[in-house]
Amino acid sequence: MTAHLLDRRSHTSRPALPVLDDMALPLARLHEACGPARRTLAMLVAAATRGPVFWIAPGWLGDRLNPDGMLAFVDPARFTFLAPGRPEDLLWTLEEVLRSGTVPLAVADLPDPPAMTPVRRLHLAAETGAQTGPHAPLGLILTPGDGGAPGIETRWRMAPAHQGRDRAWHLSRLRARTAPPADWRLTGRPGQWCMTQT
For 32-84, what is each residue's pLDDT tens digit? 999 999 999 999 999 999 999 999 999 888 778 999 989 989 999 999 999 99
Amino acid 4: pLDDT = 52
**What one-character-per-residue DSSP string does 119-170 give?**
HHHHHHHHHHHHHHSSS--EEEEEESTT---TT-SEEEEEEE--BTTB-EEE
* Residue 122 φ then ψ, to 5°: -70, -40
The pTM of the whole model exceeds 0.85: yes
CA dist., res. 31 & res. 54, Å (int): 15
List pLDDT tens digits, range 111-143.
999 999 999 999 999 999 999 989 899 999 999
Q: Is the pLDDT of residue 89 over 90?
A: yes
Amino acid 61: pLDDT = 80
List pLDDT tens digits, range 149-186.
999 999 999 999 998 888 899 999 999 988 999 999 99
CA dist., res. 121 & res. 97, Å (int): 12
List pLDDT tens digits, range 5-34.
544 545 456 799 999 999 999 999 999 999
Q: Count Cβ atoms below 10 Å from residue 160 Cβ, excluding itself.
A: 12
Is there a contact between 37 and 146 (Cβ–Cβ < 8 Å)? no
Q: Which domains does the chain carry?
A: 16-60+68-155 (3.40.50.300)
Q: Is the pLDDT of residue 3 over 60?
A: no
Amino acid 11: pLDDT = 46
CA dist., res. 91 & res. 54, Å (int): 13
